[in-house]
């Protein structure tokens, strides 16, 4: 650590454990994803009991229905791409599109690059190291921006949504896929028993403690579904709809960019 730098919070086993209220939250989120990059996909499949294989393609199906009648997107940005799974699905779905997959964690991008090289569609994906809070792209550069399981890690959601709106052309599409509160209270109790207790215990046993303690905390920090949809709308997206999957465990937020970007909050 550089002299004078504020140390981030760590779990008892020394692993990064980001504290949303702390001054180094963003840096700690990046350190945490760097720490778990190698095991990320594997643990994602275990923690979601394999459901993550279904959630991303279903979300893209929901997007196609939302954008029915619109031409296929030609320029796509996948934000917080992680190991690049959603970007590769986008490349298969829209074979003529040029795709950029961006993330602010270098080890995630390294992992994405290795996987892209092994997949024919992966060779059409450009990688960029960038933070969602300040995208290195010109206004109106994209027809579609997507992100999966990123929103709950962002320090300032309204600012991030304004930034997405800035890089979209008017009429462009925006897809956010995120873990959300289940729709039924009975199922929510079961879900929280698993997500708040089993996942952190499993994470600590097979990987490291901090990231998997942070995971349920990050979910609690996310605004409720309707408030999140309203936040997206306020960033310059007059049309926003939500579509749930798996009894509301995940929600796809689908939005269409308005004619002019909204003023930054």
Ligand X SMILES: C[S@@+](CC[C@H](N)C(=O)[O-])C[C@H]1O[C@@H](n2cnc3c(N)ncnc32)[C@H](O)[C@@H]1O
* Chain residues in the site for ligand X (CB under 6 A): 29, 33, 80-82, 85-86, 103-105, 108, 131-133, 148-150, 153-154
Residue nearer to ligand X on the CB measure, 16 or 80: 80
The nearest distance, CB 185 to ligand X, in angstroms, is 26
The nearest distance, CB 155 to ligand X, in angstroms, is 7
Query: Which residue number places its CB atom closest to ligand X?
Result: 82
Integer-rounded Cα radius of gyration of the chain: 18
The nearest distance, CB 129 to ligand X, in angstroms, is 9
The nearest distance, CB 91 to ligand X, in angstroms, is 14
Distances (CA, A) of 56 to 15, 231, 250: 28, 22, 10
């Amino acid at each position: 650590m550089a002299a004078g730098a504020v140390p981030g919070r760590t779990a008892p086993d020394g692993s990064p454990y980001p504290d949303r209220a702390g001054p180094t939250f963003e840096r700690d989120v990046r350190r945490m994803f760097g720490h778990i990059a190698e095991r990320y996909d594997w643990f994602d499949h275990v923690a979601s009991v394999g459901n993550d294989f279904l959630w991303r393609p279903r979300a893209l199906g929901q997007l196609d229905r939302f954008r029915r009648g619109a031409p296929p997107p030609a320029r796509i940005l996948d934000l917080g791409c992680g190991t690049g799974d959603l970007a590769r699905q986008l490349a298969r779905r829209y074979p003529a599109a040029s795709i950029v997959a961006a993330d602010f964690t270098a080890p995630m991008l390294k992992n994405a690059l290795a996987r892209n090289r092994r997949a024919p569609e992966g060779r059409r994906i450009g990688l960029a190291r960038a933070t969602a809070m300040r995208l290195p792209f010109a206004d109106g550069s994209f027809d579609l921006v997507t992100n999966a399981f990123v929103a709950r890690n962002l320090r300032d959601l309204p600012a991030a949504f304004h930034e997405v709106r800035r890089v979209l052309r008017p009429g462009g599409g925006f897809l956010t896929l995120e873990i959300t509160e289940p729709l039924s209270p009975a199922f929510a109790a079961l879900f929280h028993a698993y997500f708040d207790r089993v996942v952190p215990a499993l994470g600590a046993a097979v990987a490291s403690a901090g990231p998997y303690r942070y995971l349920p905390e990050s979910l609690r920090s996310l605004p409720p579904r309707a408030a999140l949809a309203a936040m997206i709308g306020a960033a310059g997206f007059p049309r926003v709809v939500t579509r749930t999957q798996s009894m509301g465990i995940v929600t796809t937020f689908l939005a269409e960019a308005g004619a002019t970007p909204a003023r930054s909050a």
